[in-house]
Amino acid sequence: MKNKLFFSKMHGLQNDFMVVETLTQKFFLNKKIIQSFSHRNTGVGFDQLLLIESPKVKNTDFNYRIFNFDGSEVEQCGNGARCLARFVFYKKLIKKKKIIVSTKNRIMILKIKNKNKVLVNIGSPNFNPKNIPCLSIIEKDIYSLKINSEKIFFGAVSIGNPHCVIIVNDIFKAPVQNIGSILESHNFFPNKVNVGFMQILNKNNIFLRVFERGVGETKSCGSGACAAVMVGIKQKKLSNVVNVILQGGSITIKFNPKKNCIYMIGTANHIYDGYIYY
């Protein structure tokens, strides 16, 4: 007998998700099931599966897990965090608009601002090479690797998950697929890496495209937006409040240097509810 699973389809700036809660239902999760669900012709279709579980950490409301469409589990997803907040409030799993969730490696505070905007307290950026992780003995503002006989310069940071950010002159001509796929699995990054391509318009505005680890290029990436801004601030090229323009829309990233904390403000949209047998 097949199992019946209820879910919601949501998106944050066209970064799309299948959202499943296991508070009121069981989900017998494995890599093959996730891959079958993620197929855009024969399944639900999504960039990531978001799993909402009962709290595992004291003083939190939920535990939050993220799986790429290839079935791999990752540590962080900023766009997904906004969708999670809207989902639990919309489904009346919680009444308050301030929601505290645990992930694989941090605690996040989510605040529903209005009908579809959510503020996410992402936490602190981490530039320590051991914690990104990347194979550098010392922390640098700018790293370099030789790719296809060309030297590529980039910044690197962890936003709960690993990111490298390349500054480009023209975002529309950037070799996102080629360089992104090579850097994603380069041995310089032991846990693989998300690769951002950033065009700086001025200190308060950037264009960004992101090749996501285990997914490929997506319409937007919340943690990638945070990473790009933090790399830009570290290199003294951006201010502490930046509008990030992605293919799926715009998002605001704010950095509080006194608290060493990143805040992300953007939309989260519910598309439909459904169920699937597996």
Structure pTM? 0.92
CA max distance for the chain: 59
Q: What are phi and psi of 81, to 5 degrees?
A: -60, -40
Question: Sign (positive/negative) of CA torsion 27, 221, 217, 275?
Answer: positive
Token pair listed for 227: 């990473």
Cα–Cα distance, 68 to 240 (Å, whole number): 30
* Bridge partners for 65 per DSSP: 51
Helix residue ranges, H only, the chain: 31-38, 78-90, 176-184, 222-234
Instruction: Output the CATH code of domain 143-259.
Output: 3.10.310.10
Fold of 4-121+267-277: Diaminopimelate Epimerase; Chain A, domain 1 (3.10.310)
Catalytic residues: 77, 221
Per-residue pLDDT of the chain (278 residues; tens, 9 = 90+): 589 999 999 999 999 999 999 999 999 999 999 999 999 999 999 999 999 999 999 999 999 999 999 999 998 899 999 999 999 999 999 999 999 999 988 899 999 998 789 999 999 999 999 999 999 999 999 999 999 889 999 999 999 999 999 999 999 999 999 999 999 999 999 999 999 999 999 999 999 999 999 899 999 999 999 999 999 999 999 999 999 999 999 999 999 999 999 999 999 999 999 999 99
8 Å CB contact between 208 and 246: yes
CATH 3.10.310.10 domain extents, the chain: 4-121+267-277, 143-259
